[in-house]
Amino acid sequence: MHINISFRSLRSGIMAETADKKDDADYKRLHSFPLIRHTDMSEEMRVETMELCVTACEKFATNNESAAKLIKESMDKKFGSSWHVVIGEGFGFEITHEVKNLLYMFFGGSLAVCVWKCS
C-alpha cells in the first residue's frame, strides 16, 4: 500500500497544481501508445486488433461502451462471429476463449481492453 500525504502553503499549492496539470499531460502523452499485456493471436491479427482498439478508444474517449461495440462489430465482420470486448479502468476477468483469439492490452495509461473469441 502506498500513501502520499503532502502539506503545502496556498502559494505552493497553486504552483504545484499547475505542475500537476503539466505532469498529467506528460503522463498521458507517454502512455498514449498501446501496451500489449497478453496475446496468443497471430502477428497479423494482433496488429489489426490493436489498431482497431486504439482507433475505437480514441474515437469514443468518453464512452467505453460505444468503443467496445465498435470493436466487437468490426471483429465479428473481419474474423467471424462470437467476439467479446471489455474496456475499463478497473476490472478483473477469468475467461474461456478459443486458442489464438485473445488480446489483453492497455492504452492511454489506465484504460485496459480485453478482446476474445468464444463460440
Can you tell me whether residue 35 is helix, strand or coil?
A: strand
pLDDT tens column, 38-90: 999 999 999 999 999 999 999 999 999 999 999 999 999 999 999 999 999 98
Q: Which amino acid, 111?
A: L
Q: How far apart are CA 61 and CA 50, in angstroms?
A: 16
- Do 72 and 83 contact (CB within 8 A), yes or no? yes
Domains of the chain, by residue range, sit at 34-117
- Do 30 and 99 contact (CB within 8 A), yes or no? no
pTM: 0.74
- Do 53 and 105 contact (CB within 8 A), yes or no? yes
Architecture of the domain spanning 34-117: 2-Layer Sandwich (3.30)
